[in-house]
Amino acid sequence: AQKVTQAQTEISVVEKEDVTLDCVYETRDTTYYLFWYKQPPSGELVFLIRRNSFDEQNEISGRYSWNFQKSTSSFNFTITASQVVDSAVYFCALSTLSSGGSYIPTFGRGTSLIVHP
């Protein structure tokens, strides 16, 4: 069975601090896809990044960076110099091939990030 663990339920930081959100996944599949989504207080989920299991390159996008390590089954997300607008719930998701032949995502429980001014 597939599983995504986001052990940090809530993180509270002060603006300009760096913060890392952890994501650990479990799957026996060799082909899978990992995602991060942001859910701000408004409620609408926003896609941030996608990674496939064969691409371990880390990625940086502005203040956001992602570290994918297959050896530890982790796909961590770092926000550099956090801002109040980063306050949101962040979800990590894992998509694997189901018995029905389609890729089905499993979401972690989410990490609530609160950035104080």
Partner 1 sequence: SAVISQKPSRDICQRGTSLTIQCQVDSQVTMMFWYRQQPGQSLTLIATANQGSEATYESGFVIDKFPISRPNLTFSTLTVSNMSPEDSSIYLCSVGGGKYEQYFGPGTRLTVT
**Distance of closest approach, residue 112 Cβ to partner 1, in angstroms:** 9
Q: Is 62 in the site for partner 1 (CB under 8 A)?
A: no
Q: Is 25 in the site for partner 1 (CB under 8 A)?
A: no
**Distance of closest approach, residue 86 Cβ to partner 1, in angstroms:** 19
Q: Is 109 in the site for partner 1 (CB under 8 A)?
A: yes
String marking each residue 63-92 x if it binds partner 1 according to CB under 8 A: ----------------------------x-
3-class secondary structure per residue, the chain: CCEEECCCCEEEEECCCCEEECCEEECCCCCCEEEEEEECCCCCCEEEEEEECCCCCCEEECCEEEEEEHHHCEEEEEECCCCHHHCEEEEEEEEEECCCCCEEEEECCCEEEEEEC
**Distance of closest approach, residue 65 Cβ to partner 1, in angstroms:** 18
106 phi and psi, to 5 degrees?
Answer: -120, 130
Residue from 44, 54, 71, 117 touching partner 1 (CB under 8 A): that is: 44
Dihedral angle over CA of 82, 108, 91, 87, nearest 10? -50
| Contacts with partner 1, residue ranges (CB under 8 A) | 33, 35, 37, 43-45, 47, 50, 52, 91, 95, 100, 102-105, 107-110
